[in-house]
Every structure is written in structure tokens, then in C-alpha cells.
Amino acid sequence: MAGIADLGVGIGWRSEIDLTVERLPGVDFVEVVAENLHIGHLPESVTLLLERGIPVLPHAVSLSLGGADPVDLNRVEHLGKVAEAVGAPMVSDHVCFVRAGGLDSGHLMPVPRTKDALDVLVANVKLAQENLPVPLALENVAALLEWPDGELSEGQFLAELVERTGCWLLVDVANLYANARNIGTDPERFLDEIPLERLAYVHVAGGEHHGDVYHDTHAHAVLPEVLGVLDELCSRVRPPGVLLERDDNYPSDTEIASELAAIRAVVDKHGPAQWLN
């Protein structure tokens, strides 16, 4: 897919760390939360990054494409407008639902892995794609629970979603690790089952263990185990891009730079460094 290759290593742009993102070495691309941006009034920092030629990819959290409620086309339109405003080659959201029956979950809820739920998801994704100016990538979420009566593994579910919609995959290795730890998903099987040739890019994030449970907080350091899952992924395919997500408790510039360097080291371990930086 044109424009997706060689994104490099990036970081989620957040207003609290805008100056940090601007001055950090080794930031090849950034991701913005689409719902936080206003068309016609882009943050100065985002404009500056665009002027420097840094790709800016909009990431949505509210399309609720896995839900039974009708897709809110206003939200899709906003995402599309953000993509056009920043000249993004693609946009993304999650394989989840966040609303049902007029209630907002406030969290990315996993979709039941049944054929029926997949039909609903596929229909919603197709509708979103028809209303978006650029390709759509969908991300695996960290599930706090697993719905009963699942008919497909997570990998099979995503593979079928890609086959029926032509969407791209945004693989979050921290979510993959969280699911392995919390609900017993096998990351290797997941990676075996998904079509890696449709991999748009990868998310890496930090979290912490609380007893037997792993919390995908995005507010702690990236654990070696999560980098291990990235390593496993990179042993199968060189991802077009890898992005560090940090949403709170932002550490020092030095620590963020080290996390980016650690990510780059894992990717480069599996092949010659091709990314510009």
C-alpha cells in the first residue's frame, strides 16, 4: 500500500508532551487522537511537525465499529476531515464497541468473537470505509473479559475481518501481551493467524502487573515482555512502523528517548535498518 511503507519509529502526540515530541531524536512519525483535534485549528505543534515532513496519522477511539448501534457517520466524517487536514495516508480505530443502548462504556470493549458479531463488524467497517477518504486500519484491544460462546480465535476473527473488508491491521503488542496474561490468548498463534502482509503498523505501550493481572495503563514503562512480543512479530515480518503510546505520567525526555531507542533496536535486530532517521 502506497504511503504506508517505512513509517519508522514514532510516538503518540499528546498536547502535554508536544515540545518533547518536537525535540526528541528518532521520531519518524506521530499519531494523533482524532477526537481531540478540531478541523481548521490544528495545534501549532502538529502543524510544525507536518512542516518538517513528519507523517501524522489520525487514530480514533469512538467509532464503535463493533457495536450493534448504527455507525455515527458524523464521527466518521470528522475522522476523514482530520486525515485530510494532516494529509494522512491512513486512519485507524479499534476492533471494539464503546456504546450500546445509549450508554457509553468509557472503555474499549471487546467484540464477541462469533460469526454474528463479525457480520455486524464487517458491515460497520464497510460503511466507515465508504465514508473515509483514506484506508482504515483496525487495532486489537486489550480485553478485560472474554465473551462466552466465542467461535473464532482472536487471530481468526481479525483475519476474516481483513479478508471481508480489505482493512489494514494495527497490531498492539502490549494489548496482545495483556490478553496473553489476562485471558490466555497465545500471541504466537495470533501472529500465525493474522495476515501480516496487511500490517499497517504496530503499537507498543507500557503497563504494570498487579498480582496476576496486567494493566495496560499507557502510563508506565514498556515492559521487556512487551518488547518480547514485538521481537516475535519482527521475526516474522518487518513492520512498516512501530509507535510508542504514552498517555499519562509522562517520564523525562531521556526516558522516552530510551524507550524509542529500545523499540528501534528490536526492529533493527531482525534486518538492516531501512528507516530514515
Partner 1 sequence: MVTPLTAQGTQLSAEQVGYLSAGPGRAAETALARLIDGGLVRVSRDGLVTAVHQNNHGATTGVEARILSYARTPVRFDTIVQSTAHSTEMTQLHQHLLDQGLMQHPRRRNPAWGFSLLLAAVLLLLGFVTPVLFLGVPIAVGFGLWQRGRKAVTRAGKEALLHVAATDRVHNVAVYGFCGKVNRRPVAEDFGLSQSIVKMLPLNQRRKRRSSSDGGGCGVSGGCGSSSCSSSSSCSSSSGSSCGGGGGSCGGGGGS
Applying CB under 8 A, which part among 9-17, 120-128, 155-163, 170-178 lies near partner 1? 9-17
Cα separation, 276 vs 48, whole angstroms = 19
172, interface contact from Fe ion, partner 1, none, CB < 5-8 Å by kind: Fe ion
Applying CB under 8 A, which part among 41-49, 142-150, 191-199, 266-274 lies near partner 1? 41-49
Nearer to partner 1, 16 or 163 (CB): 16
List of residues 6+ apart from 83 with CB closer than 8 A: 34, 58, 90, 91, 132, 133, 134
Q: Does residue 247 touch partner 1 according to CB under 8 A?
A: no
Q: Does residue 203 touch Fe ion according to CB under 5 A?
A: yes
Q: Does residue 19 touch partner 1 according to CB under 8 A?
A: yes
Q: Does residue 172 touch Fe ion according to CB under 5 A?
A: yes
E strands in the chain: 8-12, 29-33, 56-59, 91-94, 97-100, 103-109, 136-139, 168-172, 199-205, 208-210, 213-215, 241-245
Cα separation, 169 vs 90, whole angstroms = 11
**Under DSSP, is residue 182 helix (H, G, I), strand (E, B) or coil?**
helix
Applying CB under 8 A, which part among 144-152, 180-188, 204-212, 251-259 lies near partner 1? 251-259
* Minimum distance from residue 13 beta carbon to partner 1 (Å): 11
* Number of chain positions touching Fe ion (CB under 5 A): 2
Residues that bind Fe ion (CB under 5 A): 172, 203
* List of residues contacting partner 1 (CB under 8 A): 15-20, 23, 43-45, 249-254
